[in-house]
Structure 1
Amino acid sequence: MGWLQRLFGMEKPENAQVNPEPTLVAENSAEGETIPIERMGLNGEYDQSGLAKRVALAFDEDRRFDSINTIYVAQLGTKVVLRGKVPDADTLSQLAEVAAGVSGATEVATNEVTVG
């Protein structure tokens, strides 16, 4: 079971992207207001949990994390929060690095992850 399925109960949408292009909040908006990057969903749409879902997608796309099913992803604004347990510090470092590479992530909190 993939990350998106396990964490959010959804299959990967057809054109899902880890770092989609920003889209306008309203096409008729005179201001050209865009969706905040941390609220951008898998296809550029507004999604309250957009950053967390895009991090889960990034983990799905990285084969190194296929066997990990004890980590959970949340977001607090632009901060990605990882919770759970990993087998070793290298894996935690790799997860944090991938999460930090997702557009909109300004910080990755790993203090709620147990190593070992």
Structure 2
Amino acid sequence: MAWFERIFGEITGDTPSKPDNNAVQQAAASASLPPERIGIAGEYDESGLAKRVTLAFDEDPELNDIGSLWVSQKGATVVLKGKVPSQGFLEKAVNIAEFQAGTLTVDTSQVNIE
């Protein structure tokens, strides 16, 4: 859980897995919430989308936490900030973020490739 813990802090209790997109859509519909506000346990969470993106990063063996890329959200936009080692790394991160329920766009304007 390197991505999630670095950005959002230690998880107490059972380690959650990222909810699948169908579960997020169902939770959003039943709670009358936008999907970007659904958290990792199906609850309302202002940073729900960003948290689900970081869990998805943790689950991908090709996307090791590099410690210099940060994830946040502005509404339904996932915002990536910081430095990445390659264009390929950034593309992989963007592809994962785009696939999460509730993502409208991914903003990479604050990312530098080193």
Give the TM-score range, shorter chain.
0.7 to 0.9
Equivalent residues in 2 for 1:2-81 (5 A)?
2-11=2-11, 13-19=14-20, 21=23, 22-23=26-27, 33-81=31-79
Paired AA for residue 6 in structure 2: R
Give 1:33 shift: 4.2
Cα gap change, 1:24 to 1:66, in 2 (>3 Å) = closer
Please say if residues 39 and 50 of structure 1, whose CA atoms lie closer than 8 Å, have aligned partners that are also in contact: yes
Larger Rg: 1
Deviations 1:4-25 (A, max 9, x none): 1000003385443243513278
Distance change in 2, residues 1:68/1:76 (3 Å): same
2:43 and 2:107 map into 1 onto residues whose CA distance is: 25
Aligned residues: 110
1:88 equivalent in structure 2: 86
1:18 and 1:57 in contact (8 A); partners too: no
Contiguous gaps of at least 5 residues in structure 2: none
RMSD: 2.0
CA distance, structure 2, for counterparts of residue 100 and residue 90 of structure 1: 15
Q: TM-score, normalised by structure 2?
A: 0.86
Structure 1: runs of 5 or more not aligned? 26-31
- What is the identity percentage for the equivalent residue pairs of Structure 1 and Structure 2? 39
Closer, same or farther: CA 18–72 of 1 in aligned 2, 3 Å: farther
Deviations 1:40-75 (A, max 9, x none): 000111101000000000000011122421100010
TM-score using structure 1 length? 0.84
